[in-house]
């Protein structure tokens, strides 16, 4: 199972994603914004996946993703943007900064677990010989 960092300024969203993933056997840590999330990630580099909201105070999801991609120790960690904003402009901007996948809000527990499985399995396949 994966160790997942959830970063969202909504405690309701964090609780929902946490419950969804822990119910599937994943380990979860969380943060209330991108600045706190990035600091936590730098202290916990064994995270397998980051799920981050787009719009947050202090540091938004795109800025956090860009910071992750610019840090050689963190650059390989997949980042899933979890947001209600799914327009083509937002998705293109996400791709440019290195977002791995997009997950729309709201999302069922099964949808969240499925997205995490797809991204982590794809990552494992990419690192296999």
Q: For residue 5, what pLDDT is reported?
A: 98
Supply 69's token pair: 């991609």
pLDDT of 112 above 80: yes
Q: What is the pTM of this model?
A: 0.92
Q: For residue 126, what pLDDT is reported?
A: 55
Taking all residues of the chain, what is their mean pLDDT, rounded to a whole number?
A: 92
Supply 40's token pair: 């936590």
pLDDT of 129 above 80: no
Distance CA 72, CA 9 (A): 26
The band of 2, judged by pLDDT with boundaries at 50, 70 and 90, is: very high
- Average pLDDT over every residue of 32-52: 96
What superfamily would CATH give domain 3-79+94-127? Response regulator (3.40.50.2300)
């Amino acid at each position: 199972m994966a160790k997942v960092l959830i970063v969202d300024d909504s405690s309701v969203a964090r609780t929902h994603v946490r419950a969804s993933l822990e119910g599937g056997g994943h380990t979860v840590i969380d943060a209330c914004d991108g600045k706190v999330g990035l600091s936590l990630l730098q202290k916990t580099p064994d995270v397998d996946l980051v799920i981050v909201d787009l719009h947050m105070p202090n540091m938004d999801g795109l800025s956090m993703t860009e910071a992750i991609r610019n840090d050689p120790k963190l650059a390989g960690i997949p980042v899933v943007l979890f947001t209600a904003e799914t327009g083509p402009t937002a998705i293109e901007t996400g791709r440019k900064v290195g977002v791995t996948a997009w997950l729309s809000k709201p999302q069922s527990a099964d949808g969240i677990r499925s997205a995490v499985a797809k991204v982590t399995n794809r990552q494992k396949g990419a690192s296999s010989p």
